Structure 1
Amino acid sequence: MNNNNFKSQINFSTILFLTSLAGGTILFFLQMIFPDEINILIIGFFYLIIAIVLNIIMLFYLLYFFTLLPDLRTKIANQALLILSNIPIASLYIYLTFNK
């Protein structure tokens, strides 16, 4: 894969980050608005599992190309940090949801 193809594909990690963040935030606020609605917790649980799997796959994808494309390491590292930043955000949402 050449660098130009990868540059266009790397934008998917930004989309994944934003989608994971937006989806988790929406579910978190819905749970805060409707605290007795168990269905939101169930949906949130499955959303969390799917988001974790997709983010881990993307992280490994980025780390793989981090080793192959030394001229794009800064951009790849920034994208990996974006993906990793979902972890503390999701952890905070889980903590606030179950410790209210």
Structure 2
Amino acid sequence: MSHKIEHQKTELVKRLNKIEGQISGIKRMVENEKSYADILIQLNSSRSAIQKISQILLEAQAEHSLMLVNEGENLETQMTVLRQTIIQYNKMN
């Protein structure tokens, strides 16, 4: 993991816990037959939170790959890893 605070495992877990809570709330909304509009608002909020985590992970991978290359790792290997990460990130959008 990266040295940036938002890339650290504890921060990512906090974000994931928040999303987990949002999803549980959405489930309760469905069970309680809340309005579709209100449910969609919460779904969009959860999706945005997931996209933010994806962005943080992509940034962390880029930073990590650059640091490894700087420390002597093979550039082509790290470029391949970064490309694969970018491909996965793009599938989310």
Q: TM-score, normalised by structure 2?
A: 0.50
Q: Distance in 1 between matches of 2:34 and 2:25?
A: 16
Structure 1: stretches of 5+ with no match in the other structure: 71-100
Supply the AA of the counterpart residue of 1:63: Q
Q: How many residues align?
A: 66
% of aligned pairs identical?
9
Higher-Rg structure is 2
Supply the AA of the counterpart residue of 1:23: Q
Q: Distance in 1 between matches of 2:34 and 2:11?
A: 35
Q: Distance in 1 between matches of 2:5 and 2:34?
A: 43
Structure 2: stretches of 5+ with no match in the other structure: 69-93
Pairing 1:1-100 to 2, within 5 Å after superposition: 6=3, 8-9=5-6, 10=8, 11-32=10-31, 34-68=32-66
**Structure richer in helix, relative to its length:** 1
Q: Distance in 2 between matches of 1:61 and 1:48?
A: 20
Flag as ranges the 4+ runs of structure 1 deviating above 3 A.
Answer: none
Supply the AA of the counterpart residue of 1:25: S
Q: TM-score, normalised by structure 1?
A: 0.48
